A and B are shown apart, each in its own frame.
Chain A
């Protein structure tokens, strides 16, 4: 069966420090991968998605970047965190091709920038 792992679960980082959040998927090949952010009291905002190794699409201009160095690994990074980067970050995967299956989400990383 397919599983998705996200870590760390919680993170407190000072302003200006770097960030690296990792997401890995098991039990499937060539998935679509997504990073979402959920700010406090707000909905889900799609940050990045990837349809293959090295292929990253950015949905919003921001302080963050994403990389996909391996088929089932998706990394969210920042060189210098801002206070506004605080939020709940969710990784998700879906099957490629005609879209009928929905996403499977990881358990999320709660990031607090202080």
Chain B
């Protein structure tokens, strides 16, 4: 079946460090891929998305490239800030008729000043 695997957290970085959160997926066909962010005590917000192979999604300095050959969608940011501290979820949808999202387990990021 379809699934998403993320690197385990928590990830702790110093401000201005480089961030990578790994995400790999298993899916039939050609899924759409997403990164969501959850700030403490809040719901999830869409951070970025990519709908076909080699697409790069980007937003707020974050980016991720849809790599079909490695079935990956790693999230990166060149210089993290304290305000980036949150839980990050990778997700896919392989259902063209309605769109059930399948989420990874989430990766907690903590950025220290």
- List residues of chain A with CB under 8 Å of any chain B CB: 6, 32, 34, 36, 42-44, 46, 49, 51, 90, 92, 94, 96, 98-100, 102-108
Contact = CB atoms under 8 A, between A and B. Distances in A.
B25 interface: no
Interface string B7-35: 00000000000000000000000001010
Nearest to A110: B41
A23 to B, nearest CB: 11
A78 B45 CA distance: 27
B4 to A, nearest CB: 9
Contacts, number: 60
B103 A49 contact: no
Interface string B37-68: 00000111110010100000000000000000
B interface, over-half SS: loop
A99 B106 contact: no
Contacts of B46: 102-104
A49 B95 CA distance: 13
Contact of B43 (A43, A51, A107): A107
A103 B101 contact: yes
A102 B36 CA distance: 10
B99 A32 contact: yes
A96 B103 CA distance: 19
B96 A90 contact: no
Given A44-B106, A46-B101, 9 more contacts: A43-B105, A46-B100, A90-B43, A100-B51, A102-B34, A102-B101, A103-B101, A105-B43, A106-B43
16 contacts: A6-B43, A43-B89, A43-B103, A43-B104, A43-B105, A49-B98, A90-B43, A94-B99, A99-B32, A99-B93, A99-B95, A99-B99, A102-B49, A103-B44, A105-B36, A108-B43
